Amino acid sequence: MGTADIVIDPVRIAAIRRELTANGKKKKAPRFRSLAQHESTICDCLKCPLGSTRTNFVYGVGNPGANLLFIGEAPGREEDLQGYPFVGRAGQLLDKILAAIQFSREDVYIANILKCRPPGNRDPQPDEMQMCMPYLLEQVRIIRPKIICALGRISAQALMQTTTPLGKLRRKWHNYHGIPFFVTYHPAALLRFPAYKRDVWEDMQMLRAKYDELARE
């Protein structure tokens, strides 16, 4: 992954936020009753060039009524081949991370900002994320999670519209459209830098504690 900062047109993001606002007066994008209906409507998307190079559209996986939504950046090679997010080595590690805080994939929902694989697993481009972001926002609207956890720098920075380094976004709770928002390392980063495992373990303890706290309310 490169280290270039992510800059997304703030005007476009403001428009997307208006689409999320339940009582907004502006013209809204079509709304969907279910994830399945949404996926079947957008799965042939060719809005950006990644649509013509993908093997499979990778919408998301998990419990459509989950209280916890994980958001990564984009499908990798295995995800592109199989059509599901986080199914390669990073996905297996994510399963272990979830198990460590007593969750399985059936308890949570997992999606990416991009639904199609960038060639060679390069970083998503700002314009690609800008075009694909409305799909993710519709997923958030349908799922209505109580907590969102961004996996990795690219997802965190794109969703928060910031260039703040990941290390400074961790260990604190943010707010994303009124939803508690948390940030941790991408499992692929753990595969490259095992020293991050302790940090992720601490992050997951915070995440689980917040989840339990919200469940009691």
Can you tell me the distance from the alpha carbon of 172 to that of 90, in angstroms, rounded to the nearest whole number?
A: 24
Long-range contacts of 48-53 (CB under 8 A, 24+ apart): 48/116, 48/127, 48/128, 48/131, 48/132, 49/128, 50/114, 50/116, 50/117, 50/118, 50/119, 50/128, 51/116, 53/116, 53/117, 53/119
In terms of CB distance, is 94 or 116 closer to ligand SF4? 116
Q: Does 128 bind ligand SF4 (CB under 6 A)?
A: yes
What is the β-pairing status of strands 147-151 and 68-72?
parallel
Can you tell me the distance from the alpha carbon of 77 to that of 80, in angstroms, rounded to the nearest whole number?
A: 5
Phi/psi for 108 (5° steps) reads: -125, 175
Q: Does 116 bind ligand SF4 (CB under 6 A)?
A: yes
Q: Which of 47, 170, 177, 208 lies at the binding interface for ligand SF4 (CB under 6 A)?
A: 47
**H or E, element range at 205:** helix 197-216
In terms of CB distance, is 60 or 180 closer to ligand SF4? 60
Q: Does 132 bind ligand SF4 (CB under 6 A)?
A: yes
Choices 10-18, 79-87, 110-118, 180-188 (CB under 6 A): range interacting with ligand SF4 = 110-118
In terms of CB distance, is 66 or 116 closer to ligand SF4? 116
In terms of CB distance, is 60 or 187 closer to ligand SF4? 60
In terms of CB distance, is 128 or 203 closer to ligand SF4? 128
Q: Does 51 bind ligand SF4 (CB under 6 A)?
A: yes
Q: Does 115 bind ligand SF4 (CB under 6 A)?
A: yes
Can you tell me the distance from the alpha carbon of 168 to that of 144, in angstroms, rounded to the nearest whole number?
A: 26
In terms of CB distance, is 55 or 67 closer to ligand SF4? 55
Q: Does 58 bind ligand SF4 (CB under 6 A)?
A: no
User: Cα dist. 176→14, 74, 159, 183 in Å?
Assistant: 13, 20, 8, 11
Q: Does 45 bind ligand SF4 (CB under 6 A)?
A: yes
Q: Which of 46, 99, 100, 209 lies at the binding interface for ligand SF4 (CB under 6 A)?
A: 46
DSSP character at residue 86: S
Rounded least distance, CB 110 to ligand SF4, Å: 16
Residues that bind ligand SF4 (CB under 6 A): 45-48, 50-51, 114-116, 128, 131-132
